[in-house]
Amino acid sequence: MTDLKKLEFEGIDTCNEISLCEYGMLLAKKDDTYYVIYGCDIGEQGEYINFNWNYFNEEEVEDLIEGLTDDDILSFVGSTYDQWGELSVLQRLYNLYSYYGALVVFSHSDYEGANSVEDFHKMFNLGF
């Protein structure tokens, strides 16, 4: 079992706090597994306030991305299929999450099991 505190997360912004609270997603990769923390509830100030997490192996992530890649998402991000394929896994997952939402991309939204940023600091070393 991976020590969750040793995962090194990254986000769309260079600041992980902004990536999580404003963009709603952080991603870490350890060996052949991706770990994602994603926002599932937005507060009155427009920032994500509750989060959940999931993990996928490399094959599952590639199948997920391939299965959701269509003309709608390419139009949303303004990319051709070839340009889309050149984006990092983080960028493609974030774009899919932004367009389709947590329920479609991460197979659940789990508002019931959602946790605050403070709770995630106890589980993971978020670096902020």
Identify the band that residue 128 occupies on the pLDDT scale cut at 50, 70 and 90: confident
Q: Where are the domains of the chain?
A: 4-123
pLDDT for res 61: 93
| Count of alpha carbons within 13 angstroms of residue 85, beta-carbon side | 5
- Residue 92, pLDDT above cutoff 90: yes
pTM for the full model?
0.88
* Residue 71 burial (10 A CB sphere; 0-12, 13-18, 19+): exposed
Higher pLDDT, 117 or 99: 99
CB atoms within 10 A of CB 63: 12
